[in-house]
Amino acid sequence: MGSTWAVDLANVGAVYPWLGYEVIMVVIAIIAWLIWHFVQIREEENDYAEDIKLHGSKENIKKALEERV
C-alpha cells in the first residue's frame, strides 16, 4: 500500500502493514498458540494440585458440598 488513496482502486489489493512478512507473522502466531496450551495446562494442573493440598480433606469436601449443591 502506498502513501495516498489517490489511486484507481481496481489496482489496489492487500492493504495491511508488513506486506510480504505474512509467513513470519503466521509462524509467530502458531508458536504463541502452542505456548498458550502448554501454559494453560500447566496452570490448570497446578491449581488442582493446590486445591487438593489446601482444601482436599474429607471434612472440607463435605463442607463444600453442603454449601453449594
Partner 1 sequence: MGDNITALTTIFTEFYYWVTVVMMFLIHVGFCMYEVGVSRTRNHLHTLMKNTMLIPLVTITFFFFGWWIYWAFPNGPFIYEGKGLILDGATGANQYLPWSPKMGPNLQDHITGVFWAAFLLFSWTVASIVSGAVIERIKSGAFWIIAVMIGSVTWIIDAAWGWHFDGWMVKLLGYHDAYASGVIHAIGGGTALGVLIVLGPRLGRFAADGTPRDFVPHNQWLVTIGLFLIYTGFWGFYAACNVPIISPEAIAGQITGATWTGTTIYLTPTTLSAITFNFLMSLSGGLMVAYIISKGNPFWTYSGGLAGVITASAGNDLYHPIQAFFIGGIGIYIAYYLHYWVERKFKIDDAVGAVAVHGYCGFIGCVIAGFLLWGYPSSPYEGYAAVNPIGNTIGGVIMFLVLGFIPGWVMAKILDGMGLLRVPRQVELMGLDFKSLHEEEIAREEVLRVEKAMA
In whole angstroms, what is the distance from residue 67 CA to residue 69 CA? 7
In whole angstroms, what is the distance from residue 43 CA to residue 51 CA? 12
Residue 3 CB, nearest approach to partner 1 (Å): 16
- 19 near 1, Cβ under 8 Å? yes
* Residue closer to partner 1 (CB basis): 6 or 26: 26
Which one-letter amino acid corresponds to residue 38? Answer: F
Residue 9 CB, nearest approach to partner 1 (Å): 6
Residue position matching grid coordinates 492493504: 15
In whole angstroms, what is the distance from residue 27 CA to residue 66 CA? 49
Task: Mark residues 10-49: x for contact with partner 1 by CB under 8 A, - for none.
Answer: --xxxxx--x--xx-xx--xx--x---x--xx--xx-xx-
Residues near partner 1, by CB under 8 A: 9, 12-16, 19, 22-23, 25-26, 29-30, 33, 37, 40-41, 44-45, 47-48, 50-52, 55-56, 60-61, 64-65, 68-69
